[in-house]
Amino acid sequence: MNIIIQKFGGTSVATEELRERVAKKVICSKEEGKAPVVVVSAIGRSGDPYATDTLIGLANRAFKEQSSRELDMIMACGEVISAVIMANTIKALGYEAVALSGLQAGIITDKYHGDAEVVQVDCEPILNLIKEGKIPVVTGFQGATMTGDITTLGRGGSDTTAAILGEALKADIVEIYTDVDGVMTADPRLVPEAKVIDNICYDEIYQMAEDGAKVVHPRAVEIARRGSLTLKIKNTFSDAPGTIINGNMGFKGSSYRNANEDNLLTAIAHKNGITQFTVSFNEDSVEESEKFMNELTNKHISIDLINFFTDRKVFTVDEKNAEKLELLLKSLGYKFKVTAGCSKITAIGHKIRGVPGVMARIVKALASQDVKILQSSDSHTTISCLVKQSDMEKAVNALHQEFNLSR
């Protein structure tokens, strides 16, 4: 059926002029013989009347305590409004379009309100509309339980909706429209020389998304990888070709043996709002470590950049969990040190696997800008460094320049 999923974020549908631009892109796909399925986010961003954060604020002002079920109901309203308006915009240009909620689109989830998982998709409602020559416009970010309760899929959930529908409908491609020309080698607001990446593999884009790049949600990448879906990141505001995301990088082990080779890295990502904890231990035992980790799990505290030693454990948490962790550590009687106001800088590239000297170049580049590395960790495709947030911009630019990513 040549199905194409086209997802548009809140900024892409924020004004009447932009919605007409989006409608024309959808119609262009239709006229090319494709069967477009549109996924939309709520209109605008926080402060705009129908944005998700605005609706949450409305609910919180009205009631200090509310159930997650009712909160999901009000959060889902933003996408419903967006889908109806977008469908009417397409109809005004002469093409039949039908707005669908997550439930009407056949998206069934578990019962975890606020961060639900999709358990099945009934494709029949959307396929029937396509067969009738109509364009389905689906609310992103939401679904419903088997009993009909509205659920939401977590922040960034419209990307998840697009990927889930792409997998279920066996779409040729999933296009995710944003306000940049594609996936870039670094945040262009920090690095003016950042360039668009033409092709990138699932592992690399997943790491970028996990480590701060906001161009696509990590869960959408996981779904795409599972279903061998091709994603394309495109700009709503231009006709730039965008970035293709798939597993076809032709990589079967590193052919690089010299860290000074060009093209070792794909991108530099960064994440702010990180707090480092150093927790002292009087005894190093399996039981004590297990007890400590169980306490973190019970309090739903996720840790990162983990370095465990015989006398201490060093790790980071998101700053939103820092106060909760401090209270926990005090209640358990641990001695600890807190370093707030940090950033995680991550160098990403599948070609660095097994190549000696990459870390040496990172240390040299950061030292040249007087940036102190507070902690580091690595994997097959990444090297991450913790730095003070005040040094973040210098660090990102230094690494981008050191590895010639603007070429």
Contacting residues for 283 by C-beta, under 8 A, at least 6 apart? none
225 lies in a domain?
no
Residues 173 and 289 in one domain: no
What tens digit of pLDDT does each residue of 139-180 get?
Answer: 999 999 999 999 999 988 999 999 999 999 999 999 999 988
27-36, 184-193, 281-290: least confidently modelled range: 281-290
Burial code of 118-127, b = ≥16 C-beta within 10 A, e = fewer?
beebebebbb
The rounded distance, in Å, linking the Cα atoms of 54 and 45 is: 8
**pLDDT above 90: residue 44:** no
For residue 74, the domain's CATH number is 3.40.1160.10
Map tokens 């607001």 to a residue.
Answer: 189
34 lies in a domain?
yes
Residue 181: name the closest of 121, 238, 128 by CA: 238
Residues 278 and 152 in one domain: no
Question: Structurally, how many domains does the chain consist of?
Answer: 2
303 lies in a domain?
yes
Map tokens 């879906």 to a residue.
Answer: 229
Range(s) of the domain holding residue 109: 3-178
Residues 21 and 135 in one domain: yes
The rounded distance, in Å, linking the Cα atoms of 4 and 193 is: 32
Q: For strand 3-8 and strand 97-100, is the pairing parallel, antiparallel, or unpaired?
A: unpaired
**pLDDT above 90: residue 59:** no
The pLDDT confidence band at residue 252, using thresholds 50, 70 and 90, is very low
206 lies in a domain?
no
What tens digit of pLDDT does each residue of 86-129 get?
Answer: 999 999 999 999 999 999 999 999 999 999 999 999 999 999 99
Q: Which of 143, 159, 178 is the last residue of a domain?
A: 178
For residue 277, the domain's CATH number is 3.30.2130.10
Residues 174 and 274 in one domain: no
What tens digit of pLDDT does each residue of 328-378 get?
Answer: 999 999 999 999 999 999 999 988 887 889 999 999 999 999 999 999 999
46 lies in a domain?
yes
Q: Which of 178, 197, 227 is the last residue of a domain?
A: 178
SS (H, E, C) 227-294: CCCCEEEEECCCCCCCEEEECCCCCCCCCCCCCCCCCCCCEEEEEEEEEEEEEECCCCCHHHHHHHHH
Residue 178: name the closest of 159, 194, 191 by CA: 159
Q: Which of 158, 178, 198 is the last residue of a domain?
A: 178
Residues 294 and 167 in one domain: no
Residue 118: name the closest of 131, 107, 130, 132 by CA: 107
Residues 288 and 167 in one domain: no
Residues 160 and 12 in one domain: yes
